[in-house]
Structure 1
Amino acid sequence: MPDNPPLQENPIRRVDQLWTMVLPVATLIMETVRSFWDTPPPDLAGVSSGSDRALYSFAQFVVAILLGLMVLPMTKWCCRRVHAWFWGKVAALALVLAVVAFFSYQRLLAGWTVRHGTAVLYVGTEVRPEVKEFVRKNPDMGTAELLENAGWQPARIWTEHSLLHRRLVLAGVYILCTPLFAAAIMAVAQLMYCAGARE
């Protein structure tokens, strides 16, 4: 009597094994990125709160998904020196994009926020109707002076919509930077692995 064919591996178990491998690597990558990357942009009150922790957790989630998506190409194009060129190009592209995104974020953060003590306050784009006349009469007044006159309350000067828009753009650029950093790190690791292959 012939042997019974081996049972196919349970797909749920395979997914569990994959994520058991992916999540610690994603955490390691996030800790590496966190060592040099700024904290997420604060909430509209200008203080670090649960919202910036949520942004960091979301960035970690994005990195875990990216790592999961990169598993297939990392297993398909590995173990040969010829693949090192491919991963070198991926690493270089990810690094260039990460540098551009990093400095774009820094420029936006410097232009769209003002520090007051420990708080980071947003500068809006649209002045509230009741403040337009005051701003028109005082064209030489800078952002910090406007905020000082408003008791360091940005919502007294700019509309809530324009303040929220700037915060969301900063949050989006922050989230975009994180997977680019992670992709560069993963591609360099794969490049070194392929470069050390025998073939």
Structure 2
Amino acid sequence: MTIKFLAQDDRPREKFLLKGKSSLSDSELLAIIMGSGSRDESALELARKILISVGNNWNQLSLLSVKDLMKFKGVGEVKAISIATALEIGRRRAGQEVSEKPVISNSNDAYNVFRNQLSDLRTEEFWAVFVNQSNKIIHLSRLTQGGISQSVVDVRILFKTALDHLATGVIIAHNHPSGSLKPSREDMTITQKIKEAGKFLSVQLLDHLIITQDSYFSFSDEGLL
């Protein structure tokens, strides 16, 4: 029985798409890497046979050479290289340290993130930093570009981005090309609108910065949140 005749939930690629990569068994992952089986057995059956031969241990499988893998019926040079390559990628990934994400502890930290993006612009732009529960940055995004005096942000896009990245907090910022740090009426309105919308989605507005060429204004520091 080949993979195309299996129930949809049992097809590794379809299962990957329907249920996510963590739902796949080791043999299903290996079957996807190989892509196909032999005339006599499916990729899934061949994957099970290979894994059983090494005690279902990825570390032991990684010790097999291309020639060792090619001893299994249905595993040619291309499949053997694909398996060895996937295992080598896993080895290198395990050896790399996960880079530490910057943490925003105060308005000055946020300013240091935004100033390279906003301080020297001649037109107004609206940016956002999305953070997790530890206030570590998980995404930085420009949301709008506008004219000299105003850039209107779409609150729906802001929170869609937050939800897409599983953010629990957001810090927004825009620049004033005029050099004025005084919030406009529109700045005050959009800040409150975003703050209230965030309450319903459990995404807290942590601060709103107005950036000029050499300074900034923090809504949080000024007690305006």
TM over 0.5: no
TM-score computed with the length of structure 1 as normaliser: 0.27
**Larger RCO, structures 1/2 (Cα 8 Å, 6+ apart):** 1
Q: TM-score, normalised by structure 2?
A: 0.25
Greater strand fraction, Structure 1 or Structure 2: 2
Larger radius of gyration: 2
